[in-house]
Amino acid sequence: MGMIRGVGVSAGIAIGVIHVPDTAGHAVERRSPDDPQSEVERFRSARDAAVAQLKQLRDRTAAEFGEGKAELFDTHRLMLQDPDYVESIEDLITSSKVNAEFAVNSTAEQFAAMFAAMDNSYMQARAADVKDVSRRVINVLEGRRGGTAADTGGDSRIILAEDLAPSETVQLDRSKVLGFVTARGSANSHTAILARTMGLPAIIGIGDAFDPADDGRTAVIDGTSGLVFVDPDEKTLAEYQGRKAQFEEHLRLLQELKGKPTETKSGQQVRLYANIGRPSDVAAVLANDAEGIGLFRSEFLYLESEDWPTEEFQFEAYREVAQKMGDRLVVIRTLDIGADKQVGYFNLEHEDNPALGYRAIRICLTRPEIFKVQLRALLRASAYGNIAIMLPMITSVQEVRDAKKILDEVKDELRGGHVDFDERIQVGIMIETPASVIMADELAAEVDFFSIGTNDLTQYTLACDRQNPNLARFADPHSPAVLRMIRMAVEAAHRHNIWCGICGELGADLSLTDTFLRLGLDELSVPPASVLPLRNAIRNH
């Protein structure tokens, strides 16, 4: 028996025979065409065919998994039509007199390297996407479909591959594919996201342990722990057969919790909300029966735009979420750009320590023309649902007052234009700096609620850059210092009769649920998939 350790990205246990698909790429040959302009036309024709293929894949994905996951292929189509991408390929063909296949492959490598070098983990994961779409164009140019991981040979198998592109993942036949393991990949990749959506146990990052010779062997994969057992012995096999049955029963029982109140056996109630980044994520919020949205990361509207998102664009996004959520509260965080979330058109200067730099509320207060556009959109959307506004990275009372002054100016403008909005809209702040904890009593007198961002609070309290993997052992969110900060914030909020919640990753940590209940937190906002497991833990407390 051999044991391999990777990174689990989609929970569940699969037991079956390994299938290693023949998807190995081949070297793209460099040729010197006689007529470069004809080669440009070959590329354009292949690109158009690839766009048409992606349209079909998008429609299939929307029908099976919903519009939210189908948007990936809209992004892929935009990549193929991106002027910089197209210009790079066509310039390479004409200036270097190379064939279209070589130009596409070279541009893909260049763009992928650019994405991989970015500080933002979301943008790093786009390196796989640009390679995926480029491989599609090359396949069209070469007149072949290429190998596909979707073909398991007719039997139920566990896929073992170097990597899986998102387009390959979405085409996996769930009646035959039990799960998959890859040598490479990212937990933030669309492949990992799709695996969770499809309910497929998945493990990435096994590296050099990937061995095509394992094809046909029996394996056990645990998508929670990231463990792979090749040719498991009888004891291991029996153990994981039992775990698999327990996991499936657990999922069944969780579904029975839909519609039931989130309260302990003693009657202590907690509001259980969900975190989202896009309007399309609301489907998962509703499917998992969250009671509201505790964090809508509005910066994704900026990160995924090539230019400033207009007031109308933002208004439509906020209104869509508010309407879909009905009476349930939707807390929208104003843009949190900066630090690890960089946007080119903001033209932010390079900073040696961006986590302590020009970001979030600091940008909004010094560039009010940007802030006002978002506030107008938020206020207008508040007429269509139960919206609250949340300000990030607050360190002082003056920042809150300055932000509220700008908000009041926008309200006056809307009243003057006879534009409807919620006059009683709640305004809250993120508690994510030691300064905000120390000033919590004064801040609580200014706002309607606190929401604790445990990721940044841990970073700033422990002086540990959360983007630095070398500090993982020191950046302990369970630190007594961090938990004491949380307690201080909760107590200050309750002294001033406002509610206090958590919207950081720690909220979904079941090992801390007891602590959070004892601290008296009013609300926990977690990823949609964590809602039912957390409700189960609270109801059994």
Please pick, among 364, 464, 500, 503, the residue that the annotation labels catalytic.
503
Q: Taking a C-beta distance cutoff of 8 angstroms, is the pair 185, 164 a contact?
A: yes
Distance of CA 302 to the CA centre of its chain: 14
Distance of CA 462 to the CA centre of its chain: 25
Return the DSSP state at 28: P
Residue 468 CA to residue 471 CA, distance in Å, equals 6
Cα dist. 380→117, 305, 404, 529 in Å? 38, 21, 16, 30
Q: Taking a C-beta distance cutoff of 8 angstroms, is the pair 55, 78 a contact?
A: no
Residue 318 CA to residue 382 CA, distance in Å, equals 8
Return the DSSP state at 528: G
Q: Which of 87, 85, 76 is nearest to 129 (CA)?
A: 76
Cα dist. 502→36, 269, 293, 488, 524 in Å? 59, 15, 12, 13, 5
What's the count of helices (H) and strands (E) in the chain, helices before strands?
21, 16
User: Which SS3 state, helix, strand or coil, does residue 350 take?
Assistant: coil
Q: Residue 56 is encoded by which pair of tokens?
A: 């079909």
Q: Taking a C-beta distance cutoff of 8 angstroms, is the pair 506, 454 a contact?
A: yes
Q: Taking a C-beta distance cutoff of 8 angstroms, is the pair 50, 80 a contact?
A: yes
Q: Which of 380, 229, 242 is nearest to 316 (CA)?
A: 380
| 500 classed as catalytic | no
User: What share of residues in the chain are helix, strand, coil (percent, to 5)?
Assistant: 50, 15, 35
Distance of CA 170 to the CA centre of its chain: 17
Write down how long the chain is. 541
Please pick, among 76, 190, 464, 500, the residue that the annotation labels catalytic.
190
Residue 336 CA to residue 392 CA, distance in Å, equals 7
288: buried, middle or exposed (CB in 10 Å: 19+, 13-18, 0-12)? Answer: buried
User: Which SS3 state, helix, strand or coil, does residue 540 take?
Assistant: coil
7: buried, middle or exposed (CB in 10 Å: 19+, 13-18, 0-12)? Answer: middle
Query: What single letter denotes the amino acid at residue 13?
Result: I
| 190 classed as catalytic | yes
Q: Which residues are catalytic?
A: 190, 503
